[in-house]
């Protein structure tokens, strides 16, 4: 039975979509069958982050509302076998997808994939609720920015239905120069939020380069610091014990 993991944040632009793509790629490269599900209705961009720009014709609302099958809506990555995308609608047609419809969709997803990463939109609105309502675990992505850390804490309060060990924190865009002064803030965030840290991702320009080239990060720059961070997190999500990345 597969696991569905919601990737969320309070503040926008913290790196949820990049994280979903990077960790999804890493899981697929380690032999897992992975579905990346874009929950950002209207502002979808997970296809770009995966280098699958505009390949999908059908979206998760088509599957959840019975207009097509799951298999016919997902797109498999041509360079990364085992990595699939189910995209979000550009706009809502008719009734929005309900949490029950999403739960039914995820029940089917769990039978066919080892992992499903749900890329939530920023904030605590409908997309957040859809992504988290039926997920098994959640990852809160924050940057080192104090307002992002505070929003992450608010987000955690909304996620109290996830039990022990089901809620994780990722600190993204960590810079070596800031690390010493950051330690207190990160520790503070972990303490206040009561969340175990599942990884830190360094600030890394290769992310933007691979995005511009339309090539998945883990293929374009497999030795880049962010690629290592995503691989380590993918290993931890599978139960592996990997030390935290040293930020150079
Ligand atoms: N570790 C990183 N190093 C450098 N740039 C990064 C890193 N993580 C994300 N970015 C950049 O930050 C921007 C926002 O990232 P991304 O789209 O993944 O965030 P998001 O949380 O999904 O945003 P939104 O809330 O709008 O959905 C992108 O330009 C991305 O390339
Ligand atoms: Mg996003």
Q: Which ligand is nearest to the CA of 206?
A: 1
pLDDT at residue 245 above 70? no
47 C-alpha to center of ligand 2: Å? Answer: 11
Contact indicator for 38, 89 with CB cutoff of 8 Å = no
Which residues lie with the beta carbon below 6 Å from any ligand 1 atom? 9, 12-18, 40, 121-122, 172-173, 201, 203-204, 207-208, 211, 226
For residue 141, count other CB atoms closer than 10 A to its CB. 28
- Fill in the DSSP letter of residue 97: P
Which residue has the least CA distance to atom 16 on ligand 1? 15
pLDDT per residue as tens digits for the range 156-194: 889 988 887 899 999 999 887 766 666 656 666 666 666
**Residue-wise pLDDT tens digits, 67-114:** 999 999 999 999 999 999 999 998 877 889 999 999 999 999 999 999
Q: How far is the CA of 96 from the centre of ligand 1 (A)?
A: 27
CA dihedral 49, 205, 241, 120 (to 10 degrees): -30
Alpha carbon of residue 204 to chain centroid: 17
For the chain, the structural domain boundaries read 3-140+205-237
Q: For domain 3-140+205-237, give its CATH number from 3.40.50.10480, 3.40.50.300, 3.40.50.1100, 3.40.50.720.
A: 3.40.50.300
Atom of ligand 1 nearest to the CA of 141: 21
């Amino acid at each position: 039975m597969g696991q569905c993991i919601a990737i969320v944040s309070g503040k926008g632009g913290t790196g949820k979509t990049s994280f979903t793509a990077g960790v999804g790629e890493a899981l697929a490269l380690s032999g897992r069958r992975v579905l990346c599900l874009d929950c950002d209705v209207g502002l979808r961009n997970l296809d770009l982050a995966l280098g699958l720009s505009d390949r999908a014709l059908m979206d998760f609302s088509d599957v959840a509302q019975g207009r097509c099958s799951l298999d016919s809506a997902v797109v498999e990555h041509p360079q990364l076998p085992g990595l699939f995308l189910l995209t979000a609608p550009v706009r809502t047609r008719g009734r929005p997808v309900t949490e029950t419809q999403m739960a039914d969709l995820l029940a089917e997803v769990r039978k066919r994939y080892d992992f499903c990463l749900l890329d939530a939109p920023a904030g605590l609105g409908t997309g957040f609720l859809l992504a988290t309502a039926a997920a098994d675990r959640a990852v809160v992505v924050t940057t080192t920015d104090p307002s992002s850390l505070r929003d992450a804490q608010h987000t955690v309060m909304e996620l109290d239905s996830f039990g022990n060990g089901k809620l994780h924190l990722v600190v993204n865009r960590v810079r070596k120069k800031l690390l010493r002064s950051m330690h207190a803030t990160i520790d503070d965030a972990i303490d206040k939020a009561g969340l175990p840290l599942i990884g830190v991702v360094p600030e890394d320009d290769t992310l933007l380069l691979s995005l511009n080239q339309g090539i998945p990060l883990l293929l374009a720059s497999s030795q880049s610091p962010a690629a290592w961070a995503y691989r380590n997190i993918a290993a931890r999500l599978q139960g592996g014990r990997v030390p935290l990345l040293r930020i150079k």
